[in-house]
Amino acid sequence: DLVEGKDFTSSYLNNISVGTGTAILNGTGRYAGEVCIDFEIKKKEAEPRISVPEKLTIRVDESIEIPVSIIPEDAVVDILIISSDEEIVSVNSDRYVITGHEPGTAILSVHYNEKIKYCTVTVTQSSVQSEVLPEDMQIIWQSYRNTKQ
């Protein structure tokens, strides 16, 4: 095996910025000659990341699309979303849609590129439920003024 410093020396040209760099190897001792090797220096691609809300509130029987942002937008990222309690919140990972099933709280774990982000989802009871009055019943609102002083 050749040993650097004993059998050869090395130096480099243009090896700091993006572009073509050159490694120069010179034989020493029992070895002679020079070898130049060009190599390409490429810009490192930014690692994609995602953004999800820390908290969401939905109602029973409501479905919403989770606002997932991928940065940069053209990055290819496989995302898997898992609910800690499918009886409270279920997930359609194909479209990033969640549905509330019963009041409570569940944690969504959003998996991507061997990383995980979390979103707490609170499911509340549906909005005010209207009741149908019997046909012979009426509600009459009247305002009264207090005349006592």
Could you read off the pLDDT of 98-137 as tens digits, one per residue?
A: 999 999 999 999 998 889 999 999 999 976 555 566 666 6
What's the predicted TM-score (pTM) here?
0.57
Which residues, given as ranges, of the chain have pLDDT below 50? Answer: none
Q: Return the pLDDT at 116.
A: 94
Q: Return the pLDDT at 45.
A: 79
Q: Return the pLDDT at 70.
A: 87
Q: Return the pLDDT at 46.
A: 77
Query: Rounded distance, CA 107 to CA 91, Å?
Result: 11
Q: Return the pLDDT at 136.
A: 66
Q: Return the pLDDT at 145.
A: 62
